[in-house]
Amino acid sequence: MDIIEKNDIINTKNLSTKYGFFAGILMAAILFMFQLTGNDFSPFIKLSKYLLLGLTIVIALNIYKDHISGDIFIKGIGLGTKLSLVAGLILITLNYLLFFLYPSLSFSKYSIEPTNLRQVTMISGVLFFETLVFGSLITFMAVQFLKDPFQA
């Protein structure tokens, strides 16, 4: 059995890095679509991007469970947290890239359209921490269903 998750936080061979990259791209695509359509006034609809993050986490955890022996709880929490971290870093990177290339299309948050570097940094920080927190919560909920039911 080959190792699919090493202790490195970012490693291109890790399941968390691969799926985190994928989740970050999908979440950025959703936010980009909102910016493209000018729909910044529905923050609850913007939270739909976390459904994609949750789906990605559940898929990655199910694949991971099939490749490990023993309990998935602690290892799964680590995988989901690293996946969320990578997804957040992708969001930050794409937000800065959009800001420098097409400022009007960079991600907005709480009706704040970034017009300067300070604002884009604040919005990127909020997106990163939101992704990390929501991803960790989703992971914690998902591993409850994946762990061994006979474990104390």
Express each pLDDT in 2-60 by its tens digit.
Answer: 457 777 777 778 889 999 999 999 999 998 988 888 776 677 777 888 999 999 999 99
CA–CA distance, 82 with 55 (Å, rounded to integer):
15
User: Does 128 map to a domain?
Assistant: yes
Per-residue model confidence (pLDDT) at position 2: 47
Instruction: Name residue, tokens 């939270």.
Output: 47
Taking 80 as the threshold, does the pLDDT of residue 67 lie above it? yes
Domain count, the chain: 1
Q: Is residue 104 part of a domain?
A: yes
Domain limits for position 139: 15-145
Pairwise CA distance, residues 102 & 95, whole Å: 10
- The confidence band for 150, taking pLDDT boundaries of 50, 70 and 90, is low
Q: Is residue 4 in a domain?
A: no
What is the predicted pLDDT for the residue at 1? 35
pTM score: 0.89
CA distance 70 to 84: 23
Residue 151 lies in a domain: no
Instruction: Identify whether 137 is part of a domain.
Output: yes
In a domain, 1, yes or no: no
| Residue 141 reports pLDDT greater than 90 | yes
Residue 10 included in any domain: no
Q: What is the pLDDT of residues 71-126, one digit of tens each?
A: 788 889 999 999 999 999 999 999 999 999 998 889 888 778 888 999 999 999 99
